[in-house]
Structure 1
């Protein structure tokens, strides 16, 4: 019964965040003629476009789509706090970080992008990024408005 309820909540979240997912699909599709390729990652609940040919490197999530410039989403990366010099932290796995954003999108839907921008965009100050790093480190705490 619990598994069925979880599937239902995920399906409702996917519908709720569909406008964001469409942005990701459009962005990812633009890279296909230039070498990007896509596949479904069940664990991330997302379609991942790998080898997206533009950008500074890394990944960005839009709804249930992750656009990734590299070959392997399971690669190590540094946290935002580590990159900003706020202390030494061990590397995290990029897939775990991006999965946290997928969860955030499933709950917040079309509210995600405006809230993400209000809270600082792509920066160490952004509670969404700190929560995604926390989740990638510990497997808990993906919700940006919790302190765990």
Structure 2
């Protein structure tokens, strides 16, 4: 795919998932008075809120917005399969995993959250999470429904 076509597809994806991104932006902005800060990560196609003050830790993506409790998305983490004892994968980088979710949102748009929840939510069984881990491990394969 040529650069111009990728840019057009990216802009259409951003528009298609805008309602999800608005949810993420509202959540992220709610943390600003409590120490969160935001910056744009162009390579990840995302606005990232760091030091979000609530939650168990880690990151969650809503459209083109990533809400993160830590200081830096470029941090190592375990895959879902490794955490569940199903694999011994190498550590992945959190930003790579979350970038895969951004791409998934850009394709599925407003349908992403219902599909994600129907596939099991935050779980090793969820093909969206397995695909995000696969992408973080290899740089390829963020599509959740491949064999």
Give every structure 1 segment of 4 or more consecutive aligned residues whose post-TM-superposition deviation is greater than 3 Å: none
Is the aligned partner of 1:127 residue 2:127? yes
Alignment RMSD (CA, Å): 0.8
Q: For 1:42-74, what per-residue CA distance to the aligned partner results, in whole angstroms no more than 9, with x for missing partners?
A: 110000000000101100000000000000100
Is the aligned partner of 1:77 residue 2:110? no
Match of 1:107 in 2: 107
Unpaired runs of 5+ residues, structure 2, are: none
Match of 1:43, SS? helix
Match of 1:142 in 2: 142
Match of 1:9 in 2: 9
Cα offset, 1:87, TM superposition: 2.0
TM-score, length-scaled by structure 2: 0.98
Decide which moves more: 83-92 or 123-132.
83-92
Unpaired runs of 5+ residues, structure 1, are: none
Separation in structure 1 between the aligned mates of residue 14 and residue 33 of structure 2, nearest angstrom: 27
Separation in structure 1 between the aligned mates of residue 126 and residue 33 of structure 2, nearest angstrom: 33
Q: For 1:53-105, what per-residue CA distance to the aligned partner results, in whole angstroms no more than 9, with x for missing partners?
A: 01011000000000000001000000000001112111000000000000000
Separation in structure 1 between the aligned mates of residue 141 and residue 14 of structure 2, nearest angstrom: 20
Q: For 1:2-43, what per-residue CA distance to the aligned partner results, in whole angstroms no more than 9, with x for missing partners?
A: 111100000000000000000000000000000000000011
Match of 1:86 in 2: 86
Separation in structure 1 between the aligned mates of residue 2 and residue 84 of structure 2, nearest angstrom: 40
Separation in structure 2 between the aligned mates of residue 39 and residue 127 of structure 1, nearest angstrom: 29
TM-score, length-scaled by structure 1: 0.98
Separation in structure 2 between the aligned mates of residue 76 and residue 56 of structure 1, nearest angstrom: 17
